[in-house]
Amino acid sequence: MAKAKIRGLDCAAPAEKMIPVILRAQVKAMCALREKALNWKDPEGVHDMRVLSRRLRSTINDFRPYFRKGSLPRPKLRILAKKLGDVRDEDVALIALKQLASKAKDAAAEGIELIAEERKARRAQARTDLKDALVESLIDEFRKSFLSKLRGIAVAFPTPTRRQQTAEGDLSFHAFGVQVIKERLKDFTAASRCLYLPYEVKDLHELRILSKRLRYSLELFSNCLGEDSAKTAKEVANMQTSLGELHDCDVWIEHLGLRLKHTARRAAADPNELKVRAGAMWLLRHFSVTRMEHYRNALAQWEQWQSDAFLEQLVLTLDRDLSPPKTNVAQPA
């Protein structure tokens, strides 16, 4: 799991001082993966840099409501993350198609292989676009710009309660973490009703994003939240996985359905298109069935959470007056 190593993290220190420490470590870790991401022989390089870009964006979103002055280059980061995602999506698609082609037969298997060839062409273009975005001078410029703007950021917090204060009266990083996770939890819980509506594709996709943000926040502040935080983050990660697999199926279903809809006439005059349609039909049936499996997994986990009062217990844990751990501990985020 790709994470930045954050040195000097102190849960008892003022949150205002820890925010730059975390963001500085995350942007440096992401930019350091430039060469690894350009190694096409190992697709994990792109994946790792994409994950770090997501974690950095999530952290900025956690902190941004408290930025009183200044801003960070979020649009450039968003563009970079998309280009990384475009390559990663094709890598994942090609792995899936290779596995599925071995299960199909005759024309369907040949059609899936033809679809894979099309995805290889798409990946080649995505790699070209990513290579242009990852020119060393551009990444170095982004990193310097980010760090320069970070130095100009001013942070303002609501007046902390006595339990939230450091010895000097500032909001502690530990208390700030509790505050952020409660907000992420509130967002996730409010959107969770769509779990009872299996065909609300957009809402389920949004819930997936909210589960990811909750998980990243839990992991970011895990060093300040006691021993159970890792278990909690793992539970949320499992929900994110089920919703993520469901979303991937939705993307496949939409793409395959549109293709079949718009190529019906062309197939009569093109033998290869007939094979592609056979492959697309096979894939459409597969992803339609698989989607419901992932939906049932997400729903079952949600029902278990309801039965165990999992989210309510998380709130109680966050409200508990935990003693912050030792200071100056390196922390992945």
**Strands (DSSP E) found in the chain:** 5-9, 67-69, 154-155, 329-332
Average pLDDT score over residue span 135-163 = 91
Residues 91 and 33 occupy one common structural domain? yes
Q: Name residues whose C-beta falls within 8 Å of residue 256's C-beta, 6 or more positions apart in sequence.
A: 280, 283, 284, 287
Residues 178 and 315 occupy one common structural domain? yes
CATH code (residue 37): 1.40.20.10
Residues 19 and 150 occupy one common structural domain? yes
* Boundary of a domain, candidates 125, 156, 187: 156
Q: Are 207 and 192 in contact (CB under 8 A)?
A: yes
Residues 188 and 259 occupy one common structural domain? yes
> CA–CA separation, 50 vs 203, rounded Å?
24
| Predicted confidence (pLDDT) at residue 198 exceeds the cutoff of 90 | yes
Predicted pLDDT of residue 48 = 97
Residue 168 belongs to some domain of the structure: no
Q: Are 168 and 14 in contact (CB under 8 A)?
A: yes
Q: Residue 67: give the domain boundaries.
A: 11-156
Q: In the chain, how many domains are there?
A: 2
Structural tokens at position 145: 């710009």
> CA–CA separation, 133 vs 79, rounded Å?
9
Percent of the chain with pLDDT over 70: 95
Q: How confident is the model at residue 249 (pLDDT cuts 50, 70, 90)?
A: very high
Read off the pLDDT of residues 279-309 as tens digits, 9 standing for 90 and up: 999 999 999 999 999 999 999 999 999 999 9
Average of per-residue pLDDT values in the chain: 91
* Boundary of a domain, candidates 110, 126, 156: 156
The DSSP code for 64 is: G
Residues 130 and 235 occupy one common structural domain? no
Residue 327 belongs to some domain of the structure: no
> CA–CA separation, 174 vs 177, rounded Å?
5
Average pLDDT score over residue span 208-223 = 94
Structural tokens at position 333: 């985020």
Residue of 127, 65, 122, 62 whose CA lies nearest to 93: 122
> CA–CA separation, 65 vs 46, rounded Å?
30
Residues 54 and 105 occupy one common structural domain? yes
Q: How far is CA 92 from CA 86, 89, 108, 123, 230, in A?
A: 10, 5, 20, 10, 27
As beta bridge partners, residue 57 has none
Residues 27 and 151 occupy one common structural domain? yes
> CA–CA separation, 145 vs 26, rounded Å?
14
**Complete DSSP assignment for 215-240:** HHHHHHTGGGS-TTHHHHHHHHHHHH
Read off the pLDDT of residues 80-132 as tens digits, 9 standing for 90 and up: 999 999 999 999 999 999 999 999 999 999 999 999 999 999 999 999 999 99
> CA–CA separation, 52 vs 58, rounded Å?
10
Read off the pLDDT of residues 18-33 as tens digits, 9 standing for 90 and up: 999 999 999 999 999 9
Q: How confident is the model at residue 231 (pLDDT cuts 50, 70, 90)?
A: confident
* Boundary of a domain, candidates 156, 187, 220: 156
Structural tokens at position 316: 């109680």
> Taking the model in full, what pTM does it have?
0.90
Predicted pLDDT of residue 1 = 65
Residue 324 belongs to some domain of the structure: no
Average pLDDT score over residue span 39-62 = 96
Residues 150 and 178 occupy one common structural domain? no
